[in-house]
């Protein structure tokens, strides 16, 4: 039986590789014809185009792995059934359950390799692909969502009336820090803008209020109204710990003052450089960015979005669950593929292969539908990711009683 196991495993794996190569080649050719105008419009050379497809091909191969495994199983098993090999094996006393062992061994190899590549290797090449597409194919879109709320750190909340991700500018900025449901500090600004040189946010026309215990500001010489000033922070903000750098742009006359417990200290100015625990990338409305995340990075990103109370987290949760479900999907499709193609058909091998493609199409349609439900929040992400596998597993289990004995 070991010889037979090796024979089936070899046939399945080699056929799987051939199917992957054929489908990837077809998809790549179609993609080239769709993007040829964009390549020409951006004056891209052969080396740049080749580099893009070296990142594109692994992504497509990983995406279609479950379906290509299913097609390979149907093809191999239907040919064996057509040549009466399956009948000969079963007639020799081998049970159908034992016949499934080499198929599952091949499925295990594909599932482990696929899980590792999709979880840790392919996302790294996807980053290059996504950057290439963003640079040459996509127009940077305006961040349309208004009234942006997010939690940036424990007990620290940010609000923007709206954000323009073309100029990296946010309007009507507010940052608040609470302790025991009590507002302790509040920083507001007419708008904030990202300084690409300093890699910091610049607050324009800002005001800072702080409720504290005894709070004393040092004496300063009198200053005329409207004198230019600059404030800075030294650390990533909880709420910015405002420290004087040189001169405040302050409308008040600078005399020593003390603010007693539970009173509010006010500071304001025209411009301030500061460091927040967010960057312009946090405002990018690009849910497809999960393609460039490894599984650990995906988990960390989900944790960050949940912590901030951000919207759209279900998109990344669905992707995470799909990656976990993918190896099990391979086993279910292998099981179903052997069942539907192990009996010799009157329509011949061609009919069984056509049936395999039909079932593949149904699975893709069902998978796409549940994924959409998961990403839009209409269905829990874990259910959306695992439901196709569970449904096809139940169907395959029901079909098992009709296998040849």
Lowest-confidence region among 44-53, 97-106, 123-132, 271-280: 271-280
pLDDT, tens digit (0-9, with 9 covering 90-100), for 176-198: 989 888 888 999 999 999 998 98
> In terms of pLDDT, which residue wins out, 278 or 107?
107
What is residue 9's predicted lDDT score, i.e. its pLDDT?
97
318 and 374 in contact (C-beta within 8 Å)? Answer: yes
Q: What is the pLDDT of residues 17-43, one digit of tens each?
A: 999 999 999 999 999 999 999 999 999
| pLDDT computed for residue 246 by the predictor | 34
CA atoms of 375 and 107, how far apart (whole Å): 28
Q: Which two tokens stand for residue 324?
A: 């976990």
Task: Kindly report the average pLDDT of the chain as a whole number.
Answer: 84
Identify which of 398, 401, 396 has the alpha carbon closest to the alpha carbon of residue 337. 396
Task: Answer for the pair 208, 249: CB distance below 8 angstroms, yes or no.
Answer: no
Residues 6+ apart with CB under 8 A from 302: 313, 316, 317, 320
Q: Which backbone phi and psi does 106 adopt, to 5 degrees?
A: -65, -40
Q: What is the pTM of this model?
A: 0.77
Q: What is the mean pLDDT of residues 392-396?
A: 96
Region 325-344 average pLDDT: 94
Kindly report which listed range (82-91, 116-125, 136-145, 280-289) carries the lowest average pLDDT score: 136-145
Residue 142 structure tokens: 């305006």
Q: Which of 272, 78, 283 is nearest to 166 (CA)?
A: 283
Distances in Å between the alpha carbon of 174 and those of 112, 159, 178?
48, 5, 13
**What Cα–Cα distance (Å) separates residue 127 from each residue in 49, 67, 124, 131, 214?**
16, 24, 5, 6, 51
Region 213-242 average pLDDT: 41
Question: Looking at residue 220, what DSSP letter applies?
Answer: -
DSSP 214: S
pLDDT tops 60 at residue 251: no
**Distant-in-sequence, close-in-space partners of 230: CB < 8 Å, separation ≥ 6:** 245, 246, 247, 269, 271, 272, 273
The Cα 185–Cα 242 span in angstroms is 11
When mean pLDDT is compared across 157-166, 202-211, 292-301, the lowest value belongs to 157-166
List the Cα angle 388/23/137 in 5-degree steps. 90
For the four alpha carbons of 55, 58, 62 and 65, in that order, the dihedral sign comes to positive
Residue 112, pLDDT score? 97
Task: Examine the pLDDT at 244 and tell me if it is beyond 50.
Answer: no
| Closest CA relative to residue 24, chosen from 50, 70, 62 | 62
What is the reported pLDDT for 211?
75
Residue 166 has a pLDDT of: 80
Return the C-alpha torsion angle 234, 237, 239, 241, nearest 10. Answer: -10
| Nearest CA-CA partner of 288 in 150, 164, 139, 129 | 129
Dihedral sign from CA coordinates of 317, 319, 324, 329:
positive
pLDDT band at residue 140, thresholds of 50, 70 and 90? low
Identify the three-state secondary structure at position 222: coil
- Whether the per-residue pLDDT at 260 is higher than 50: the answer is no
pLDDT on residue 64? 95
Looking at residue 329, its pLDDT comes to: 97
Q: What is the structure's pLDDT at 344? A: 81
Please check the confidence at residue 108 and state whether its pLDDT lies above 50: yes
pLDDT band at 278; cut points 50, 70, 90: confident
Model confidence at 141, pLDDT cuts 50, 70, 90, reads low
Residues 6+ apart with CB under 8 A from 146: 161, 162
Q: What percent of the chain has pLDDT over 90?
A: 59
* Residue 237 pLDDT greater than 70, yes or no: no
SS3 for 225?
coil
Residues 377 and 113: their CA atoms lie apart, in Å, by: 31
254-280: average pLDDT = 66
Q: Which residues have a Cβ under 8 Å from the Cβ of 95 and sit 6 or more positions away?
A: none
pLDDT of 242: 46
Residue ranges of domains in the chain: 2-137+308-402, 146-281
What's CA 329's distance to the chain center, in Å? 20
| Inter-residue contact 44 to 92 (CB < 8 Å) | no
For residue 323, the model assigns a pLDDT of: 97
**Contact in structure between 157 and 184 (CB atoms under 8 Å):** no
CA distances from 129 to 42, 192, 288 (A): 16, 31, 12
Taking residues 134-158, report their average pLDDT: 75
pLDDT of residue 277: 80
Of 46-50, 140-144, 252-256, 306-310, the range with the lowest mean pLDDT is 252-256
Q: Are 87 and 404 in contact (CB under 8 A)?
A: yes
Rounded Cα–Cα distance for residues 214 and 258 (Å): 7
How far is the CA of 72 from the CAs of 9, 299, 311, 388, in angstroms?
11, 33, 40, 20
pLDDT digits (tens, 9 = 90+) for 335-365: 999 999 998 877 777 888 888 889 999 999 9
Q: What is the share, in percent, of the chain residues with pLDDT greater than 70?
A: 83
Contact 35, 129 (CB under 8 A): no
Residue carrying structure tokens 């025991």: 180
Of the listed ranges 24-33, 44-53, 236-245, 298-307, the one predicted with least confidence? 236-245
Q: Which residue has the tokens 């990711």?
A: 385
């Amino acid at each position: 039986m070991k010889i037979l196991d090796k024979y089936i495993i070899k046939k399945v794996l080699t056929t799987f590789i051939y199917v992957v190569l054929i489908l990837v080649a077809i998809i790549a050719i179609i993609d080239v014809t769709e993007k040829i105008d964009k390549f020409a419009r951006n004056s891209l050379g052969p080396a740049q185009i080749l580099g893009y497809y070296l990142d594109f091909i692994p992504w497509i191969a990983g995406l279609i792995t479950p379906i290509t495994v299913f097609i390979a199983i149907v093809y191999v098993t239907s040919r064996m059934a057509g040549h009466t090999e399956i009948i000969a094996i079963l007639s020799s006393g081998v049970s159908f359950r034992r016949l499934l062992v080499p198929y599952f061994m091949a499925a295990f190899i594909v599932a482990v390799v696929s899980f590792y590549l999709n979880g840790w290797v392919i996302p790294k090449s996807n980053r290059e692909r996504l950057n290439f597409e963003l640079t040459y194919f996509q127009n940077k879109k305006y961040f349309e969502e208004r009234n942006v709320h997010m939690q940036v750190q424990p007990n620290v909340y940010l609000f923007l009336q709206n954000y323009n991700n073309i100029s990296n500018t946010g309007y009507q900025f507010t940052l608040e820090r609470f302790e025991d449901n009590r507002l302790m500090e509040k920083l507001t600004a007419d708008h904030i803008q990202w300084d690409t040189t300093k890699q910091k946010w610049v607050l324009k026309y800002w005001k800072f209020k702080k409720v504290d215990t005894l709070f004393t500001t040092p004496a300063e010489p009198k200053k005329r109204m409207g004198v230019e000033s600059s404030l800075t922070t030294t650390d990533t903000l909880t709420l910015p710990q405002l420290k004087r750098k040189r001169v405040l742009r302050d409308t008040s006359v600078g005399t020593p003052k003390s603010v007693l417990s539970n009173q509010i200290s006010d500071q304001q100015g025209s411009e301030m450089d500061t460091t927040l625990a967010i960057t312009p990338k946090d405002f990018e409305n690009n849910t497809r960015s999960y393609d460039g995340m490894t599984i650990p990075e995906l988990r960390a990103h989900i944790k960050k979005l949940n912590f901030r109370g951000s919207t759209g987290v279900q998109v990344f949760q669905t992707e995470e669950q799909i990656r976990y479900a993918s190896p099990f999907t391979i086993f279910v499709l292998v099981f179903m593929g052997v069942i539907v193609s192990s009996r010799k058909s009157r329509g011949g091998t061609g009919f069984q292969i056509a049936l395999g493609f039909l079932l593949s199409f149904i699975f893709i349609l069902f998978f796409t539908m549940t994924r959409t439900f998961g990403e839009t929040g209409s269905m829990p992400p874990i259910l959306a990711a695992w439901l196709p596998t569970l449904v096809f597993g139940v169907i395959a289990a029901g079909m098992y009683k009709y296998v040849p004995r």
